Chains A and B, each alone.
Chain A
Amino acid sequence: MSEHVTLPEGNVEKQTTTINIGPTHPATHGVFQNIVELDGETIVSAEQTVGYIHRAFEKIAEHRTPYQITTLTDRLNYCSAPLNNIGWHIACEKLLGIKTPKRVDYLRVIIMELSRISDHLICNSIVGVDSGAFSGFLYVMQYRELIYEIYEEICGSRLTTNMGRIGGFERNFTAQAFEKLEKFIKEWPVVLKEFDELFNRNRIFMDRTIGVGPISAERALNYGFTGPNLRAAGVDYDVRLHSPYSSYEDFQFTVPVGSTGDCYDRYLVRDQEMWQSLEIIKQAYKKVQEFKGAEAEVYHADVPDFYLPDKKDVYTKMEALIYHFKIIMGETKMPVGEVYSSIEAANGELGFYLISDGGRSPYRLHFRRPCFIYYQAYSELTKGGLLSDAIITMSSLNLIAGELDA
């Protein structure tokens, strides 16, 4: 005869199961831990633990010169590394009071929008993978490889690009780079259209994502959301429009805004942003081609104190050699001051709060990381939903572990 199981004290209906969605989980997002309390399949509460990849960026930055910090910023949001690099250089230029020429700005815009496309591609295709649709991911990664090839033409590296200098780029874009860019502009719309046809009106995808993880605009603002997650909730705040940097005011583009802030809206906002990024790239490319003659050779601002000179000058001219040595050894000091500069990174407003005391490395550098700030809302987003909804919510928020823990 089976023994009668006596349950501990307490109301039987309120007994919840505790599940650990641990730091290693199959949706290759990065290392987050969630301890969720489940009542059947419904989530009652969730508690997050982060810090599994804390690499102490802010402490490292106090011991590194600005060009060394560029390599750190690569690893913040590693899906779109050039965005972070350029954001850091813009912050340094704000501190130093450097104005970059128009051609540099337009080239930077091309690179920033390419990185934005690259990041949104990862997010959208991973939302697909998490809901079971693997082929979109494979198809789209092919075009990420093309974007990587464009980065390689400019700076030599695929993923952690360390691209650019304070004042511009390290070399002019080659003819091959522009060729690959043209190939991208021609072939990419076809692929994105097919990706859209796969997901946008797909019954299964819509059932999985509509109404999942919604957030209202007031709560989103209170939580400090920025970027596509905030725009999906209905607030049209985009740093590119409100405080334009790098000549964004010269471009015509719209900012897609959702209404309910659920996963479907986030997916669609990112999708439309990719189309808008393509428009911006086309406009920027046309503008770059309008520079002729000597102007077409401009790829950096004239700041010998902070811009590493061209290698062939370093090997032949004395002045360039001295400047190169001084900059690398950190003898050119940053002025005393504190500045907060932000850009619209792929996930939201990436801010750099830089306090310099006149030395070779910052006194304090704080990164305002969008992922860190909006992950706090995760427990509110998933409460009352099912466990599988929690997984889709996490992947649609586009959490990048490197940026979260910094």
Chain B
Amino acid sequence: MALTNEIIRHKLIEKFGEEVTGFEEPYGMLSFTSDKNLNLKLLQFLYDEPSLGFRFLTDLCAVHYPNNTGKELAVVYHLHNLRENVRLRYKVFTDIAKPDVFSAYALFSAANWMERETFDFFGVNFVGHPNLKRILNVEEMEYFPLRKEYPLEDQKRIDKDDEMFGREGETQAYIK
């Protein structure tokens, strides 16, 4: 029997009950969320359960929602079952004041650099990661650039006139 979103949903609710919520199917891809402390258990379940078998981590990234107080950073896992060709999206929300999420490195080696990139851009601290340091930006950078409060342009550049580019000078919490 082919794996459908209904079956996955059933199995998840069977195993985790109330703790898995927010089931949606945007554009045909099942998407759900749970508490951040459950992420490894859930990923392990999706990996091991023979009828589910989500053994391929396609992507790991984060999104910053500054307006959801208490749940500003969302870590999004995209999983793929290669045999049945079914994809999943699993989100975990965390507070920006204490952004600790368990690292999926033990399960998927692909998560190594993807988590470092997420840490570099958003500051999500992956607990249990072997080498969590900045990967793409300069090591000495003190802020997390992809958060919404920081501007895109380097504010210290002198050769470009913001008015000519139609940008109003952006003065936000920019740490140099």
> Which residues of chain A have a CB within 8 Å of any CB of chain B?
50-51, 54, 56, 58-60, 62-63, 94-95, 219, 221-224, 235, 237, 242-243, 337-340, 342, 349, 351, 353, 355, 363-364, 366, 368, 372-373, 375-377, 405
Complex Cα distance, B26 from A373, in Å, reads 26
How many contacting A-B pairs (Cβ < 8 A)? 84
For residue B87, which residue of chain A has the nearest CB?
A340
| A50: contacting residue among B58, B78, B135, CB under 8 A | B135
B112, A59: Cβ atoms under 8 Å? no
A224, B63: Cβ atoms under 8 Å? no
For residue B113, which residue of chain A has the nearest CB?
A376
A373, B110: Cβ atoms under 8 Å? yes
* Residues 63 to 80 of chain B near chain A (Cβ within 8 Å): 63-64, 76, 78
A373, B114: Cβ atoms under 8 Å? yes
Complex Cα distance, B108 from A376, in Å, reads 12
A224, B85: Cβ atoms under 8 Å? no
Residues of B within 8 A of A405 (CB): 136
Complex Cα distance, B78 from A342, in Å, reads 12
Tell me how far the C-beta of A272 lies from the nearest C-beta in chain B, rounded to whole angstroms: 21
1/0 per position for B111-135, CB-CB distance to A under 8 A? 0111001000100000000000011
B27, A51: Cβ atoms under 8 Å? no
For residue A62, which residue of chain B has the nearest CB?
B152
| A63: contacting residue among B63, B85, B113, B152, CB under 8 A | B152
For residue B65, which residue of chain A has the nearest CB?
A363
A221, B145: Cβ atoms under 8 Å? no
A243, B135: Cβ atoms under 8 Å? no
B78, A353: Cβ atoms under 8 Å? yes
Residues of B within 8 A of A342 (CB): 58
B58, A224: Cβ atoms under 8 Å? yes
A339, B26: Cβ atoms under 8 Å? yes
Residues of A within 8 A of B145 (CB): 56, 59
Residues of A within 8 A of B87 (CB): 340
Given contacts A351-B78, A353-B78, contact A337 B26 (CB under 8 A): yes
Tell me how far the C-beta of B166 lies from the nearest C-beta in chain A, rounded to whole angstroms: 11
For residue A374, which residue of chain B has the nearest CB?
B110
Complex Cα distance, B20 from A353, in Å, reads 22
A224, B110: Cβ atoms under 8 Å? yes
A51, B137: Cβ atoms under 8 Å? yes
Tell me how far the C-beta of B20 lies from the nearest C-beta in chain A, rounded to whole angstroms: 19
Complex Cα distance, B135 from A95, in Å, reads 31
For residue A222, which residue of chain B has the nearest CB?
B109
B108, A355: Cβ atoms under 8 Å? no
Residues of A within 8 A of B135 (CB): 50-51
Given contacts A242-B85, A372-B113, A373-B110, contact A54 B78 (CB under 8 A): no
Tell me how far the C-beta of A155 lies from the nearest C-beta in chain B, rounded to whole angstroms: 26
Residues of A within 8 A of B31 (CB): 338
For this complex, into which size category does the number of interface residues on chain B fall?
20 to 34
* B38 lies within 8 A of chain A by Cβ: no
* 14 residue pairs bridging A and B, Cβ less than 8 Å apart: A56-B152, A95-B27, A221-B55, A223-B110, A224-B56, A224-B108, A224-B110, A242-B85, A339-B27, A340-B89, A353-B78, A355-B63, A366-B61, A368-B58
A59, B146: Cβ atoms under 8 Å? yes
Residues of A within 8 A of B13 (CB): none
A337, B27: Cβ atoms under 8 Å? yes
* B162 lies within 8 A of chain A by Cβ: no
* B7 lies within 8 A of chain A by Cβ: no
Q: Given A51-B134, A353-B61, 19 more contacts at CB 8 Å?
A: A51-B135, A59-B145, A59-B146, A221-B55, A222-B110, A223-B110, A224-B109, A243-B85, A338-B26, A349-B58, A351-B59, A351-B78, A353-B59, A353-B76, A353-B78, A368-B59, A375-B113, A376-B110, A376-B112
For residue A53, which residue of chain B has the nearest CB?
B136
* B3 lies within 8 A of chain A by Cβ: no
Complex Cα distance, B121 from A368, in Å, reads 15
Tell me how far the C-beta of B36 lies from the nearest C-beta in chain A, rounded to whole angstroms: 19
* B52 lies within 8 A of chain A by Cβ: no
A221, B136: Cβ atoms under 8 Å? no
Complex Cα distance, B113 from A405, in Å, reads 11
Residues of B within 8 A of A351 (CB): 58-59, 78
Complex Cα distance, B174 from A150, in Å, reads 46
Complex Cα distance, B136 from A54, in Å, reads 6
Complex Cα distance, B169 from A164, in Å, reads 33
Complex Cα distance, B109 from A55, in Å, reads 25
Residues of B within 8 A of A349 (CB): 58
Residues of B within 8 A of A373 (CB): 110, 113-114
Tell me how far the C-beta of A146 lies from the nearest C-beta in chain B, rounded to whole angstroms: 35
| A221: contacting residue among B27, B56, B113, CB under 8 A | B56
Residues of B within 8 A of A59 (CB): 145-146, 152
